Each structure stands twice: as structure tokens, then as C-alpha cells.
């Protein structure tokens, strides 16, 4: 009996390009599992698991967590029954070894490359505020009704420790050196669609749905 491979979509783009924002909308529309390696790693850090302890220093320095740790975490995430029905990858793969491990395990239908000029990225990232439950705001573009308080849960909002201007620069350098080759790899397979990531999030979502 041949086992069917799970199918998925990759959302790729620079830090702060809007991958998480769009993945939430796509999950609602398509019913796919949303797998964010950044969210999984932050949860591991918060829970103080062994993975979290190993990952924390890299994340705080704006560096990538070693491939073997992230690949093992991803393999577990895509093996759930929910992911077998289809998944959206947000923040993975970011290096060529990660792309090769993914290609060996699943079928990727499309890679959505969210394009945002680097000069807009810093403002997006440094203005981001999060609730402990994972709701995402922006002080200018998507502010909560009451400053510093989550509309949905009433929790106090916080700023991610890697959302400082210095860390943004380190993360963008990693994107250039490690993740651009991943985009080129999938361009070679003819499955990359480029989407303008500047503008209203709902308009960007419409652009993505049009190319999927
Ligand atoms: P991760 O959490 O994946 O961070 P990232 O890729 O840097 O992406 P972000 O979460 O910063 O941004 P996003 O593109 O999701 O944008 P968002 O929608 O939030 O990774 C964090 C760290 O974990 C890494 O540095 C690394 O250490 C580690 N890690 C994770 N995956 C790894 C892997 N595979 N390998 C190794 N290490 C890994 O939007 C940003 C802000 O802009 C928000 O405030 C939002 O409200 C606002 N916004 C969104 N869209 C718009 C719009 N259209 N207009 C105006 N504002 C907007």
C-alpha cells in the first residue's frame, strides 16, 4: 500500500514581511494546519523544555537555531493528523539543509514569496506587540483599542526580545545569506509565486488567493 505524502504551502519572506499575519488568514480560508517554527520555538522557550533552552541563545542573538533541532521539531509538527490534510509553513525552511529535509518528507505545492522592501521591515518589526496568547498587533498599523492591552484576551501586550533594531539587522543578514538560496531552489522547481507584501493585509491576502 502506498502511503500518501502530505501536501503543503510555504510562506517565505524576510522577517516582518507578514508571513504570520497572512498564514492566519489562509488557515481560516483553506483549513490547513498553520505551522510556525518561530511560534513553536517561542513556546518551547517559555515552557523551558530542553529544545527551548538550546534555542534561546540563538533566537535572542537574531541567529538561526541549528538545523538538526529545527528539522526534528518540524518533522513532528507535520506528522499530526491535522497536518496530513494540508499545511502552511511559516518560517521554515530557512536554510538549504532544511529545504532538503522537507523535500524528502512531503510534497510542496507552492511557495509564496512575500516581498517587502527592507526599509519598511524595521518599522514593522519594532512596532510589533504580542499578547501571551499569540495575538499580534502593530502600534501604528494595527493598534489595540486600549494601548498595551490585547483586545481579545485583556492580557498585557509585550515586545519580542528579538524585535529591536540591532536584532532586525542581524535577522535580515541571515535572510540574505541563508534563505535567499532556498527561494532560488524552489524557483528552479517552478513553484514560487511572488506576491507584493506592501499594502493593506486584506489586499495582500486577496493577491495570495489569486495566485494559489
Ligand atoms: P520567526 O518568528 O519565524 O520570525 P521571522 O521570520 O523573523 O518572522 P516574524 O515573525 O518576525 O515576521 P512575520 O513575517 O511573521 O511578520 P508578522 O505577520 O508578524 O523566527 C524567530 C526566530 O526563531 C528566528 O530569528 C530564529 O532564531 C528562530 N527560527 C524560527 N524558524 C527557524 C528555522 N526554520 N530555522 C532556524 N531558526 C528558526 O508581521 C510583522 C508586524 O508587521 C506585525 O506587527 C504585523 O501586525 C505588521 N504587519 C503585517 N502585515 C502588515 C501590512 N501588510 N502592513 C502593515 N503592517 C503589517
- Domain of 199, CATH number, reads 3.40.50.300
Residue 150 has pLDDT above 80, yes or no: yes
69 ligand 1 Cβ < 6 A: no
Over residues 93-131, the pLDDT tens digits come to 999 999 999 999 999 999 999 999 998 999 999 999 999
Query: H or E stretch including 207?
Result: helix 201-211
Question: Alpha-carbon distance 137 to 201, whole Å?
Answer: 12
Number of separate domains in the chain: 1
DSSP-assigned beta bridge partners for residue 7: 107
Domain presence at residue 135: no
Residue 5 has pLDDT above 90, yes or no: no
Residue 1 has pLDDT above 60, yes or no: no
65 ligand 1 Cβ < 6 A: yes
Domain presence at residue 172: no
Average pLDDT of the residues in 17-34: 95
DSSP-assigned beta bridge partners for residue 179: none
Going from the Cα of 39 to the center of ligand 1, the distance in angstroms, rounded, reads 9
- Which atom of ligand 1 is closest in space to residue 41's alpha carbon? 23
Residue 173 has pLDDT above 60, yes or no: yes
Domain presence at residue 159: no
Residue 7 pLDDT? 80
Residue 191 has pLDDT above 50, yes or no: yes
- Which atom of ligand 1 is closest in space to residue 66's alpha carbon? 36
Domain presence at residue 40: yes
Average pLDDT of the residues in 173-197: 97
Residue 29 has pLDDT above 60, yes or no: yes
Residue 178 pLDDT? 97
CB 103 within 8 A of CB 181: no
Helix 37-47, helix 67-77: angle, nearest 10: 100
40 ligand 1 Cβ < 6 A: no
Query: Could you tell which of 27, 36, 37 is best to mutate to test the pocket of ligand 1, judged by most ligand atoms within 8 Å of the CB?
Result: 37
Q: Which domain holds residue 44?
A: 7-117+179-211
Over residues 35-82, the pLDDT tens digits come to 999 999 999 999 999 999 999 999 998 999 999 999 999 999 999 999
Residue 3 pLDDT? 57
Average pLDDT of the residues in 131-149: 95
Closest residue (by CA) to atom 39 of ligand 1?
18
Question: Alpha-carbon distance 55 to 41, whole Å?
Answer: 7
Domain presence at residue 198: yes
Mean pLDDT across the chain: 94
pLDDT interval class at 2 (50, 70, 90): very low
Give percent helix, percent strand, percent coil of the chain, each to the nearest 5: 50, 20, 35
Q: Which of 87, 106, 117, 96 is nearest to 10 (CA)?
A: 87
CB 129 within 8 A of CB 155: no
Amino acid at each position: 500500500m502506498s502511503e500518501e505524502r502530505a501536501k503543503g504551502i510555504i510562506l517565505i519572506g524576510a522577517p516582518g514581511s507578514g508571513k504570520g499575519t497572512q498564514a492566519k488568514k489562509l488557515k481560516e480560508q483553506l483549513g490547513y494546519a498553520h505551522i510556525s517554527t518561530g511560534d513553536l520555538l517561542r513556546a518551547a522557550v517559555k515552557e523551558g523544555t530542553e529544545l527551548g533552552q538550546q534555542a534561546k541563545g540563538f533566537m535572542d542573538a537574531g541567529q538561526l537555531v541549528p538545523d538538526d533541532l529545527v528539522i526534528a521539531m518540524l518533522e513532528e509538527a507535520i506528522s499530526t493528523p491535522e497536518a496530513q490534510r494540508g499545511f502552511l509553513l511559516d518560517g521554515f525552511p530557512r536554510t538549504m539543509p532544511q529545504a532538503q529535509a522537507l523535500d524528502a518528507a512531503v510534497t510542496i505545492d507552492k511557495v509564496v514569496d512575500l516581498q517587502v522592501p527592507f526599509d519598511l521591515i524595521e518599522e514593522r518589526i519594532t512596532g510589533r506587540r504580542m499578547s501571551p496568547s499569540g495575538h499580534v498587533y502593530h502600534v501604528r498599523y494595527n493598534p489595540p483599542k486600549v494601548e498595551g492591552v490585547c483586545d481579545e484576551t485583556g492580557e498585557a501586550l509585550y515586545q519580542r526580545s528579538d524585535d529591536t533594531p540591532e536584532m532586525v539587522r542581524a535577522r535580515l543578514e541571515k535572510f540574505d545569506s541563508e534563505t535567499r538560496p532556498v527561494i532560488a531552489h524552489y524557483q528552479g522547481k517552478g513553484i514560487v509565486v511572488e506576491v507584493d507584501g506592501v499594502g493593506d493585509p486584506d489586499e495582500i491576502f486577496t493577491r495570495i488567493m489569486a495566485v494559489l
